[in-house]
Structure 1
Amino acid sequence: MIGLVSFTDPRKTALSHERESAIKEKHEKLLKELSEEFEILDINAELGKYSEEIFGINSVEEAIEAGRIAKSKGVSGVILGLWHWTESNLVTYFIKEANVPILLYSDGDPNWAGATCVTSVGASLWESSVNEYAIRHSRVIGDVELVKAWARASEAIKALSERALLLFGGTYTLGMEHLMDDLPRLKKFVGDFIILDQYVVIKEGESIEDEKVEEFYNWLMKNTNVKFDNKMLTPEVLKKQIRLYLGAKKIVEERKERVSGISIKCQPELSEVYGVTACTIPAFFPFNQDAFGEKPIIPATCEGDIKGTISSALLYYLSGKPPLFGDIKYVDDEIVIIANCGASSLYYARLSDDAYENLRAVTIQGQCQGKSGGALTYRTPPAEFTVARLIRRNGKYYLLYFFTEGVEITEEIERKLKWGKQWPHTAIKNPLDSQDFIRVMGANHLSLVPGDYTAEIEYVTKIWGIEGIDLSDPIEVKKFLKS
């Protein structure tokens, strides 16, 4: 839920019925536009301002009460309508009480002094710095689409802050230290962390009724192309993989905490010791369908990658679309190939809203690593994508991101693939030359979703108070590399 509140001039001698009528009209227009996509809390309505001569907030008492209303209703952020003039300290009183992200907005109408108000209030918030949201407020003039981008960012941040990441097996796979992190410090971004041993997934999976496993198995046989090889992938192995997914699903459904994303460590405890890879988990959790019908999308990653899971969850809450997660497998000056070690969201097999169209493009075949297991193979068709990755360097967080086009994986590219050919592959245009791309990467994993969400990500970094690095901007990249 996003709050909307409009302010006005508190001076009695400045009372203008024409001005108040204009402020009310502008407020209502913005309210209507935003309500098409978001749940909006009309704070002026909560204060009963529609029945008063003065529509805008015009006193310290009202500003404080407006802030308390915003806080009590649990809004993700508040848009402040600064259509003409208000005294800046009224906004300061408001933000001290509300203590949520804020955006200062005016429609740029030359009949009124909106630009004067936005710059005056913004400068005063910087000067007073009464809390982090005053310091890191945003400002927009006359661009409602940017306002919506900010609202999506605020809603995504709120969703992450109220939910937990579930790490099956913890973190730190195969000695990759960048997969670890300072978990208490990361609660700046996410609500909590649930760490469960991978044995609970095995145990719950083994408790699943045989009939349910058979139903899932038959569903896969009917809707995907399964290639048994009597070595890495047999019917028994595939059923063990199904049990891992159903066991994890049962655990998530029974948790009281709301889960924003999961990661399965897999290697080596499942892939080597238990003897089967857990590829059904990153395939089906970030997908809207399984054998038992439609289901919620939950971002899922591998190897206990905490920052990768946060990156995937952030992209999901910004877009509402299943995020893809995988390794940076190949880089040259033209393309980057992302291929996860056995499975990624099955949505990317065809990028279709029809789950079964995606499934028909999936082949399940023997893995190239681990003792046994099936990889879920596909090639992502070309589209436009937003790519993101939260990283940490020397204790400081950065969010790397860029908007790019997908590239068709041609026969020529396909012939070059050897190791992990069974894995799902996604090719995108490289925003940099190969050397700079390799130098700037703070991880071997990336997350992406279809569509352009770069404006939203810029607002996320501002609200979080971290630096965003747009990899399509050479100046930002060079600055990061030199720092």
Structure 2
Amino acid sequence: MARIGVISVSDGRDHVHARNAEFIRSKQDTLVAALRSAGHEVSVGSELVATNTQATSVARRVAASDVDVTVLYYAVWAFPHFTMLAADATRSPLVLVASTDPTEPGLVGMLAAGGALDQIGRQHTRAWGAPDDAELVERIGVRAVAASVASSLRGSTFGRFGGRPMGMNTAVANTDQWQRLFGIDVEEIDQYELVLRAEKADAAEARKGREWFEQHAAGVHYDGKKLTPELLERQLRSYLAIRDIIAERELDFSGIKAQPELTENFATMDITEALLNDPYDWNGPKPPHICATETDMDGALTMRLMNHVSGTPALFADVRHYHADRDIWDLCNSGQHATWFAARSDDPAENLSRVHLYPEVFFFPAGGASVQHIAAPGRMTLGRLTRRDGRYRLQLMLGDFESYDEATNEELVRQSTPEWPHAFARLDAPGEVFLSKFGSNHIHAVPGDHRATLRAVAEQLDVELDEWTRER
């Protein structure tokens, strides 16, 4: 949930304000109670704003409580310049909310204030309805959560392990642009640091992790060459190593290049990346640490936003194949899908019971385990931050993950790479549109329909929205 400031704006004439004050407080109290019932923290203005000095002082006090959004509430006609002064005293996003009680001209007050803000270019959102109307409360909540997500980027640090992978331009972002637009710093870390730390990592902990997989996974398919207990423990020591680096350098999210240096000379990072993104490991629950393979910066940024909006791990996948005969997409990458997606259960054992660790395929001579499963079915929000001519856009769509009978699943995975994880997705985007316009080979997803919040996040980050829908 989010922190919401509520400031009620009134009429500047003393006798009119005196008449209206009790009415305004009644409406404000109902709105505040509804927002709190929805789980939000609410900071209420200490006074009703009926003078110039109150407009500034009340807004400053609310802003000092570090709210995500400020609601300027209009239960009656309100002098518009009070809104201008209050808006100048806070930097948080503004939501102008009007009561629709016909006995007082709250809508008039909101429109006059909104028009004045338009004239100076101050961005804001408008909403209206009864103060306890569920739709109104939800709309305010969406804006507040979006503002919280957008502001959470500022002051964060991305750990970039290695450089551009295999000439993949879409995986590399301009660090100056990230700092300017999102307030994110990028810490460059050589992959050799990961190798050195992995060699010194706790062998007993790595063995404990290997035994955890052997106990709970559907299968750990050792072949004596590409996947051995020693190679699996090397991957788990890599996880322990990067976890220590994350803690030491206070990284908020990260990406690992892996290909080709690590995948040809050390081990794949599939286990490391899957466990970082998971909400658990063999020692119990933990927060997911968003990590993108192939040091995909915009991919990691998308996943971080999706994770904050949904509260769940975020998927990273290649757009591997379009089964035109079924109108489904095979979203498949070299094993980094968080194991949580196998069943999306709070119980790791339930997820792992559907996960196989297979020897890596010919692409990766160093070997190690790939994390194979089929993503559990359900409604999903999918998309990615991409760039067109240097400007960011959020390409967004709804879809469904699907799973079929065992024979059909087996037939589909064998058409691409059966050792890797798969998410079979039916997208609310025509195949021709998607393939013609999607700006990356990587796509990301979280369970549920979070489009409204992500739309608001895009607006607050000044990112163009490129949303695709079709009749279901």
- TM-score normalised by L of structure 2: 0.92
What are the superposed Cα offsets for residues 84-136 of structure 1, whole Å, 9 maximum, x if unpaired?
Answer: 2212221221222211211111242333322222222111111012xxxx2x2
Change (3 A) 1:429 1:9: same
Q: Does 2:334 correspond to 1:347?
A: no
Give yes or no for the alignment of 1:466 onto 2:463.
yes
Partner residue, 2:309: 318
Q: Quick check: 1:75 aligned with 2:64?
A: no
3-state secondary structure, aligned to 2:166: helix
Q: Hey, what's the Cα distance between the residues in 2 that align with 1:59 and 1:200?
A: 60
Residue 234 (1) aligns with residue 228 (2): yes
Q: Is the 8 A contact 2:397 2:427 kept in 1?
A: no
Contact 2:428–2:469 (Cα < 8 Å) also in 1:
yes
**1:39-54 correspondence to structure 2 within 5 Å:** 39-44=40-45, 47=46, 49=47
CA positional deviation for 1:37: 5.0
Q: How does 1:83-232 map to 2 (within 5 A)?
A: 83-129=75-121, 134=122, 136-142=123-129, 143-170=136-163, 172-187=164-179, 188-224=181-217, 225-232=219-226
- In structure 1, distance between residues paired with 2:368 and 2:72: 54
1:244 aligned residue (234, 238, 243): 238
Determine the structure 1 residue equivalent to 2:360.
367
| Other-structure match for 1:298 | 289
Out of 426, 434, 450, which is 2:431 matched to?
Answer: 434
**For residues 271 and 424 of structure 2, what CA distance do their matches in structure 1 show?**
22
Question: How far apart are the structure 1 equivalents of 2:252 and 2:83?
Answer: 33
SS in 2 for 1:29: helix
Equivalent of 1:415 in 408, 411, 415: 411
Task: Indicate conservation of the 8 Å contact 1:165/1:190, yes or no.
Answer: no
Match of 2:390 among 388, 395, 398: 395
What amino acid sits opposite 1:394 in the alignment?
D
Secondary structure in structure 2 of the residue aligned to 1:322: coil
What does the per-residue CA deviation read over 1:23-50, in whole Å, with 9 as the maximum and x for residues that have no partner?
A: 2222222222322455534241xx3x3x
Q: Distance in 2 between matches of 1:167 and 1:409?
A: 38
Whole-Å separation in 1 of the counterparts to 2:328 and 2:108: 46
SS in 2 for 1:422: coil
CA distance in 2, matches of 1:37, 1:354: 27
Structure 2 counterpart of 1:281: 272
- Cα distance change, pair 110–260 in 1 and its aligned pair in 2 (3 A): farther
1:323, 1:448 within 8 Å by CA — same for their partners in 2?
Answer: yes
Partners of 1:311 and 1:363 lie apart in 2 by: 27
Task: Report if the CA contact (8 A) 1:400-1:470 is conserved.
Answer: yes
Q: Which residue of 2 aligns with 1:5?
A: 7
Q: 1:448 to 1:229 in 2, by over 3 A?
A: same
What is the identity, as a one-letter code, of the residue corresponding to 2:140? V
Deviation at 1:336, TM superposition (A): 2.0
Q: Deviations over 1:300-336 (max 9, x none)?
A: 2111111111100001111111111111111245222
Three-state SS of the structure 1 residue aligned to 2:182 is coil
Q: Contact 2:94 / 2:125 at 8 angstroms: preserved in 1?
A: yes
Please give the per-residue CA displacement for 1:429-453, whole angstroms capped at 9, x wherever unaligned.
1222211110110011111111111
Extract unaligned runs of 5+ from structure 1. 50-55, 475-483
Q: 2:446 aligns with which of 441, 445, 449?
A: 449
Aligned length: 455
Q: 1:262 & 1:300 partners in 2: Cα distance?
A: 5
* Structure 2 match to 1:28: 29
- Please give the alpha-carbon distance, in whole angstroms, between the structure 1 residues aligned to 2:386 and 2:137: 31
Match of 1:386 in 2: 381
Distance (whole Å) between structure 2 residues aligned to residue 389 and residue 107 of structure 1: 37
State how far apart, in whole Å, the 2-side matches of 1:68 and 1:473 are: 45
| Distance (Å, rounded) in 2 between the aligned partners of 1:37 and 1:465 | 27
**Structure 1 pair 281/83, CA: closer, same or farther in 2 (3 Å)?**
farther
Distance 1:206 1:108 in 2: 66
The runs of 5 or more residues in structure 2 that have no matched partner are 130-135
